[in-house]
Structure 1
Amino acid sequence: MSYEVTGKLVAKYDTVQRTETFKTREFVIEKSDDIGGRIINNYVKFQCVQDKTALPDKFNIGDDIKVSFNLKGTKWSKDGRENYITNLDAWRLEAAGSLAQTAINNAPDNFVPDAAPDDVVDDLPF
């Protein structure tokens, strides 16, 4: 199952080579919620894995971004104790807020954002 959240990018970390064939990179967004006139800030850390580790590179600290991610959990045992780890695996980052509006304003007239194959109009004469 996939989830989405929007927030301000507040930290991005270096890529870590975990094994010879596996690498990860973490980043953090600040998500602010208005609860009865009181602003609550939550800091959410995500990880990107393998070919997705470059995703944060196109954004700067302070940018508003929308993160698409999967929720994953792992169970492991050591010395007779069980432990559980939850990961938020980001697989897509998009501009949000004013950054997204700037991208839309600068797009070519014939640009269709996030068009599904069925949405593309084929106006070729043959």
Structure 2
Amino acid sequence: MEIIGRIKVIGQPQDISASFRKRELVVTTEEQYPQDILVEFIQDKVNLLDSFQVGEPVRVSINLRGREWTSPQGEVRYFNTIQGWRIDRNQPAQAMGQPAQNQYMQQPNMGQPAQQAGGFNQNYQANQAAPNQFAQQTPQAPQTQQFPPAPSFTEEDHDDLPF
């Protein structure tokens, strides 16, 4: 999975124990409703953030992690973390001569009423008004390769078909 956006915060490396290090990164997505996403880089991935600056557009490859924890009182709680494992500078799509893409791939008109997107009724009416250019064409069967007929075959003959 990936998160695409701009770096908002790069935390300092933290030594949690003698054998565990982590570093936090906050990425702000660039969409209609921007989200500030906290991503943890742990152990040997902490150093990946050294060459990045606040404000840079990035693409962060992540894994979602979840775990269960039971308190001393017996209460069970669940926690989620987002762990980064790769980070790359993300070039704006317009600068590379490509159309912009939303971080979540959308199909055209997804979630929009039909009237705003041209609408089924408008397309239907336009197609009805246009002359049908295919109406006078005679349908033709597709051309297929002809095989010679099989020699005499009985049910007792073995074949290699699995059914």
Question: Does TM-score exceed 0.5, indicating one fold?
Answer: yes
Relative contact order higher in (CA < 8 Å, ≥ 6 apart): 1
Greater radius of gyration (CA): 2
The answer (yes or no) to whether the contact 2:21–2:43 under 8 Å persists in 1 is yes
**2:21 aligned with 1:30:** no
Name the counterpart of 2:9.
Answer: 11
- Indicate the SS of the match to 1:83: strand
**2:59 aligned with 1:63:** no
Q: Which has the higher strand share?
A: 1
- Indicate the SS of the match to 2:30: strand
Residue segments in structure 1 that go unaligned for 5+ positions in a row: 34-38, 103-126
| Cα shift readout 1:61-116 (whole Å, capped 9, x = no counterpart) | 00000000111111111121111111111000001025xx79xxxxxxxxxxxxxx
- TM-score norm. by structure 1 comes to 0.69
Name the counterpart of 2:77.
Answer: 83
CA–CA distance in structure 2, aligned partners of residues 47 and 85 of structure 1: 14
Name the counterpart of 1:20.
Answer: 18
Name the counterpart of 1:73.
Answer: 66
Aligned-pair distance for 1:32?
A: 2.1
CA–CA distance in structure 2, aligned partners of residues 97 and 10 of structure 1: 17
* 1:88-103 equivalent positions in 2, closer than 5 A: 88-98=82-92
CA–CA distance in structure 2, aligned partners of residues 82 and 55 of structure 1: 34
Amino acid at match of 2:16: R
Aligned-pair distance for 1:57?
A: 1.3
RMSD across aligned positions (CA): 1.5
Q: Please list every run of at least 4 consecutive aligned residues from structure 1 whose deviation after the TM superposition is greater than 2 angstroms.
A: none
